[in-house]
Structure 1
Amino acid sequence: MKKLLIPYKWRLIIILWVAYFLNQGDRQIFNVVIPLIKADLHISDVEIGLVATIFTLIYGILVPVAGFVGDLVSKKKIIFFSLLVFSLGTLLTGLSNGVILLVIFRSIATGGGEAFYYPAATSLIAQFHKKTRAMAMSIHQTSVYIGTIASGFIAGYIGENYGWHMAFLSFGIIGVIWAFIVLFGVKNAPAPKEEKDRLDTPSLKEIIVTIFQKKTVYFLSMAFGCMCFVNIGYLTWMPTFLHEKFQLSLSASGLHSTLYHFIFAFLGVMLGAKISDKLASKRKQIRMEIAFFGLLLGAPFIFWMGITDSKEACYAAMALFGLFRGIYDSNLFAALFDVIEPRFRASSTGIMLAFAFIIGALAPVVLGWIKTIAGLDTGISFLSIFYLMGAI
């Protein structure tokens, strides 16, 4: 019987899939246990939204730095230190006893650590995957969905039974362990022979000038910013929305706020990747067109989530929103990499993420403010406007 050997390029996806699972899982823990943190530390809706907003701002400010660094130094080392730092930040968040420590450990340490993961990881994947690029990136992207679903339920369960502190401690410890698996299991990609002469280390000026000459980067960044505003607002406040409107437990609200949405997003991302990989050689603009339809068709279901008084209808709206969100996700960075040469990919990813997350950073505190004056129903429906803006 022959021993099954998995090619390294797919082993890389497995290792990074778990790393990104933890990246997204650590992010969702906070959102699920918001009611427990508020009650324990006596924090208002606006204050808790501010912690999430600062987290996203730190991420947005540092991610272009991460992109530039990712094009200059070892991507393997960046991924290792990113995972180590954000996992330690998550662990220490579990020891917080007030808003200031939440900002230091959650917003700054965890947000800053997470910022360095994605540009380096996607660039490394692109180097190992040529013809299978969209599929490889889509598989990597599914860890966002599964990580958010699983961590939402697990964090809610741990929070209800053992306290919100333990939820952060548990995920933090696992992340630290996996960081060392990344260190010993990932390797940097050698430059292809035909590109070796061109893949010399670019200067910072060359990186900036080259990227900002591409109009596609501007359009993709603006659309992604609108999508991120919706996504961050949704993930931050949807568990609380279900908990308060439909009287679900924390573990149930953490599960249902992500389960239907991300199952259908998984289907959407795989469908979008399959279509785009098949048609990309025949129709250059196909990736942009798929992203456009994902945003346009997702908007009505975001509006529906907020206005419906039926729990089942809300779940259906979350699922269909997820389907079109996944279709959009499937071509997000593959479209960018079609117009950016390999040595600038981490930098371009960082710039696009920075623009998007700085815009998206406003969502938690804006929805916290809307919640106090008009209710979270209005706030959730309000998010649909940004999907329409992104499509346009």
Structure 2
Amino acid sequence: MKNLKLEYKWRLVLILWVAYFLNQGDRQIFNVVIPLIKEDLQISDVQIGLVATLFTLFYGIMVPVAGFAGDLFRRKWIIFFSLLIFSIGTMFTGFANGIILLVLFRSIATGGGEAFYYPAATSLLGQFHHKTRAMAMSIHQTSLYAGIVASGFIAGYIGENYGWRMAFLSFGIIGVIWAFVVLWGIRDTPMPKEEMNEHEEKPSFMEIIKAIFSRKTVYFLSLAFGCMCFVNVGYLTWMPTFLHEKFNMSLSAAGLHSTLYHFLFAFFGVMIGARISDKLALKRKQIRMEIEILGLLLGAPFIYWIGFANDKLWCYVAMGLFGIFRGIYDSNLFAALFDVIEPRYRASSMGIMLAFAFIIGALAPVILGQIKTIAGLESGFILLAGAYFLGAILVFLGLKLFFKENYYDEDNYN
């Protein structure tokens, strides 16, 4: 029985890894084929940035709802319908013939569908992984890297050879198929009894809100994540176009190189960060937040370097070094949050934290689109580097001011 339990918890990681691969892959398709969409539909850089901004904004608005749903309803079904809806939205994006339909299918349908995946999936992983939590979440996080890198190259290749519409249709169809694999492969698992209160009642909405917002550390972690998300959304939206225009790359090459080195080295960073934090967390409670500070602080200079490197090789080196420290931060993104939130509120807390992040991050595409029009994208990287540095300061303040009183010692409650 113990072996079967062990087998399922890692099989769950595999199933969710593919689902998150598609979640992130669908997101990157748009960024890679921006030049083709602009040419075909005759829309401007600012309008393209607006589509990406509205996608991120709608995601940010819906993700708290998704978090509350993850604490109140069966997470298997939330994950299934999330994957199904955002995949259908991706398919229909391929039929858009103007800015309005791009916003409807891309920003609303795809963004809204994607919002419901992460809180439920991460909460489910946290339920089955205790001592291996950071490792399981880090493995899950690597699908973000793989999904963005692979989809960047594949979408660019399909777009150049078969048109940008076919890129959306292809990924959408695969996502619909995997939604039914999720339905078959994940158990309909309720919250365990030990994670409910003594009467085994589900928490009320107001109870959830009060429990989360009473932990001031959450504010600082969420705002810091917003800084990171601002950088991530801006980077992923405009980096393929930046390489395409600055170094005269093809779309498939720009799609590949804009993400390959960054996420390849992020993979090593996330595994290193997870290994260190899982090993030291029992002895040093604050280690997860300290690792986040390190990742943000040391990543900032390399973001600046990317924008002002005049040689492709040095640009790639900067992407890789930025990736290492981005991965180190990612390794403890939600594991650090879980240090101050008890299990029954975790999906909701992730929803709120993601809302902070994506509402802030939603500003990046349109701001960088405007900066691109006025001064060129190189200047935008100064802003992105500053956002990472600000994020490090915010985590440091949360750690020093509130972490000790907010810490939730899970071992004493099990």
- What TM-score bracket applies, with the shorter chain setting the length? over 0.9
- Which residue is 1:35 aligned to? 35
CA positional deviation for 1:188:
3.5
Distance 1:57 1:338 in 2: 27
Matched-pair contact (CA < 8 Å) for 1:76–1:183 = yes
Runs of 4 or more off by more than 3 Å in structure 1?
188-199
Distance 1:321 1:191 in 2: 38
- Which residue is 1:167 aligned to? 167
Calculate the TM-score normalised by the size of structure 2. Answer: 0.92
Counterpart code for 1:309: N
CA positional deviation for 1:216:
1.3
Deviation track 1:92-139 (CA, whole Å, cap 9, x = no partner) reads 000111000000000000000000000000000000111110000000
Q: Which structure 2 residues correspond to residues 264-343 of structure 1 after superposition, within 5 A?
A: 264-343=265-344
- Indicate whether 1:258 and 2:259 are aligned: yes
Matched-pair contact (CA < 8 Å) for 2:306–2:315 = yes
CA positional deviation for 1:339:
1.3
Distance 1:378 1:74 in 2: 46
- Which residue is 1:362 aligned to? 363
Give the match's secondary structure for 1:43: coil
Taking a change above 3 Å as real, the CA distance of residues 193 and 96 of structure 1, as seen in their structure-2 partners, is closer
CA positional deviation for 1:200:
2.3
Give the match's secondary structure for 1:256: helix
Deviation track 1:293-313 (CA, whole Å, cap 9, x = no partner) reads 100000000000001111110
Give the match's secondary structure for 2:339: helix
- Which residue is 2:77 aligned to? 77
Q: Which structure 2 residues correspond to residues 134-153 of structure 1 after superposition, within 5 A?
A: 134-153=134-153
- Which residue is 1:207 aligned to? 208
Distance 1:65 1:279 in 2: 34
Distance 2:121 2:127 in 1: 10
Taking a change above 3 Å as real, the CA distance of residues 6 and 211 of structure 1, as seen in their structure-2 partners, is closer
CA positional deviation for 1:381:
3.1
CA positional deviation for 1:187:
1.2
Calculate the TM-score normalised by the size of structure 1. Answer: 0.98
Matched-pair contact (CA < 8 Å) for 2:126–2:133 = yes
Give the match's secondary structure for 1:71: helix
Matched-pair contact (CA < 8 Å) for 1:86–1:114 = yes
CA positional deviation for 1:53:
0.2
Counterpart code for 1:289: E
Unaligned 5+ residue runs, structure 2? Answer: 394-414
Distance 1:382 1:359 in 2: 14
Give the match's secondary structure for 1:247: coil
Give the match's secondary structure for 1:339: coil
CA positional deviation for 1:379:
1.2
Matched-pair contact (CA < 8 Å) for 1:124–1:188 = no
Between the two proteins, what is the percent identity of the paired residues? 77
Q: Which structure 2 residues correspond to residues 2-81 of structure 1 after superposition, within 5 A?
A: 7-81=7-81
Matched-pair contact (CA < 8 Å) for 2:196–2:202 = no
CA positional deviation for 1:18:
0.3
Distance 2:188 2:335 in 1: 20
Counterpart code for 2:257: H
Distance 2:5 2:73 in 1: 30
Taking a change above 3 Å as real, the CA distance of residues 88 and 283 of structure 1, as seen in their structure-2 partners, is same
Deviation track 1:259-291 (CA, whole Å, cap 9, x = no partner) reads 000000000000000000000000111000000
- Which residue is 1:225 aligned to? 226
Give the match's secondary structure for 2:189: coil
Matched-pair contact (CA < 8 Å) for 1:128–1:189 = no
Taking a change above 3 Å as real, the CA distance of residues 180 and 293 of structure 1, as seen in their structure-2 partners, is same
Matched-pair contact (CA < 8 Å) for 1:307–1:381 = no
CA RMSD in angstroms comes to: 1.4
Give the match's secondary structure for 1:236: helix
